[in-house]
Structure 1
Amino acid sequence: MDGERLSFTRTIASSDCIFIIGVAGDSGSGKTTFTRALREIFGEGLVSTITMDDYHTLDRAARAREGITPLHPDANNIALLEQHLADLKAGRTIQKPVYNHDTGTIEGPVPFSPTKIIIVEGLHPLSTPALRAHLDVTLFVDPGDEVKHAWKIARDVGDRGYRREDVLAEIEARKPDYEAYVAPQKNHADAILRVSPSAYDSKGTRGMYAVTLIQEQFDHTVRNITLPLDLFAMTSLAERDFAIAFRAERLNGRRMGAVTFDGEFRYEVVRRLEEAVEEQTGVHPIRIFEGKEYVTATEAVSLILAWRIINRRIFIEESGPGCRT
């Protein structure tokens, strides 16, 4: 392997390229979960996150008075985010607003300087051509209603202290705006993550889900690098049920491949994936799931997704100096 690949992290750190990933989906849909592996691999020094909640134009009380949900574009300063992404892509520090979930109020602004990899996650990051023009990779997280509602209740009641009845009422009120303004962003995503109840944990008591990665082929990939799935090792080491399936899908006229992972996988199997990423990027050590005997489908797919994103970033670097703006 050449020296450039071995020092990929240093190459990113010294590059002028600001690589921006857009992750769209409903509130509480697991957007942060699926980018965890990327954050773990490259660390806080290279990866930062912008949440679109910070671009709300109305605080919680004002939204209640006006009868508007945060899923409606009019409740968000999308034009400001468009300008901020342009500034960040150019390497400039922005003055970013802050939405306080504890109080439901808008605060700030605070300075935000670009890292080499920026994750923009929220309700509307793929919603306009101007936003998409600044994104190098686009993702949409799409859990089924049963899963999404359970996650949102757990987060908003357990973590944010909201009343359960208020969260349930909000879920119902948000449905029309979700279908009108958030769901259509699937049509602009390079990859879609569909989450449904696991065949091996139908009640979700063990934190297991079936995860489907739906993707179209990147226009540009690095052809000589691979992320191996050793089926022999997976079956010979298996002590718990798992399933892997593939099917072709069409989404809005696009031909896409959908691979589904369900169940649990021995860490030794997933460790081989980590080793492949280590070998092909020079990032050492990658021990995201070290200490776990089994790795869930959600965790395994987050690593595969990270490698897909890394693949795209390597292509940009190997295509020559500079970065798309």
Structure 2
Amino acid sequence: MSDTSAYLVAMSGGSGSGKSTLADALIARLGADRAVIFHEDGYYWPMRHYGPCETEEQRAAIIAQANYDDPASKDTNHLVNDIAALKRGQSIDQPVYDYDRHDRSEETHRIDPAPVIILEGIHALSVPALLPLIDLSIYVDTPDDLRLARRLRRDVVERGRTVQNVLEHYLKTVRAAHYRFTFPSMFEADLVIADEGLPAYGDVVPSDTAIERMLAPVLSRLQAAGIL
């Protein structure tokens, strides 16, 4: 990393692993003036990428066939270019994905450069062109049953889906894609952090102790790199 380049922390892990919780905690610790969050989900291809989507039938067919857990579901060239621009100190207009519509929004999200960029997502360590840009790679390792419980709660409570739909989707594409694309990156990560049971249900939030335990090895690496 050059003196003028931002420091890129990339966090990956399966859906529901707790990587977003860790990323948010790191942002809070570093402060908004020193770090910026970069979510990869905005780079899902717009629906028109897959074909005509003028009617509800066409849209439903695309949703049924697209595998959103495969890196090919994202415009990774755009993602890599935006990360590279941020590392050079340039602002970017990040695309926004609308989960209710299963399509990219017309809106964009302005991200200004900061000394530390925190990239989080299931494919944060699975895009070969991204790897040379990463200064610290982190994999959050969480048991499959806990991740599924969290995914159920999120998709049913927050996104209005049925339990049957969530389970069908998980068994059809999510689980296989996790072990093909996301899980292997654990063995190349600089840090592997075990998440052994942050809450999956209700309004319970992770304890300060749990957050500190997950943050400690990350902060140690950042201190060694001269970031803290």
Q: 1:32, 1:204 → 2: CA distance?
A: 16
Aligned to 1:125: 124
**Contact persistence 1:19–1:313 (CA under 8 A):** no
Higher strand share goes to which structure? 1
C-alpha displacement of 1:140? 1.0
Unpaired stretches in structure 1, ≥5 consecutive residues = 1-14, 210-263, 265-288, 290-294, 318-325
Q: 1:186, 1:105 → 2: CA distance?
A: 30
How many residues were matched structurally? 213
Question: What letter is aligned with 1:48?
Answer: V
Aligned to 2:139: 140
**2:134 is paired with a residue of what secondary structure?**
coil
Instruction: Give 1:147-226 correspondences, 5 Å limit.
Output: 147-173=146-172, 174-196=174-196
Pair member with larger Rg: 1
Question: What letter is aligned with 2:169?
Answer: E
Aligned to 1:116: 115
**2:68 is paired with a residue of what secondary structure?**
coil
When normalised by structure 1's length, the TM-score is 0.58
Higher helix share goes to which structure? 2
Aligned to 1:98: 96
Deviation track 1:23-42 (CA, whole Å, cap 9, x = no partner) reads: 11222221111233322222
Q: Relative contact order (alpha carbons < 8 A, sep ≥ 6): 1 or 2 greater?
A: 2
Q: 2:78, 2:21 → 1: CA distance?
A: 26
Counterpart selection for 2:76 from 58, 75, 78: 78
The alignment-based identity, stated in percent, is: 25
Aligned to 1:277: none
C-alpha displacement of 1:114? 1.6
Question: What letter is aligned with 1:179?
Answer: Y
- What is the Cα-based RMSD across aligned positions, in Å? 2.9
When normalised by structure 2's length, the TM-score is 0.80
**In the alignment, structure 1 residue 308 sits paired with structure 2 residue 217:** no
User: Residues 160 and 46 of structure 1: is their aligned pair in 2 closer, same or farther, counting only changes over 3 Å?
Assistant: farther
Q: 2:151, 2:46 → 1: CA distance?
A: 21
**1:120 is paired with a residue of what secondary structure?**
strand
Aligned to 1:26: 14
C-alpha displacement of 1:144? 0.9
**Contact persistence 1:55–1:97 (CA under 8 A):** yes
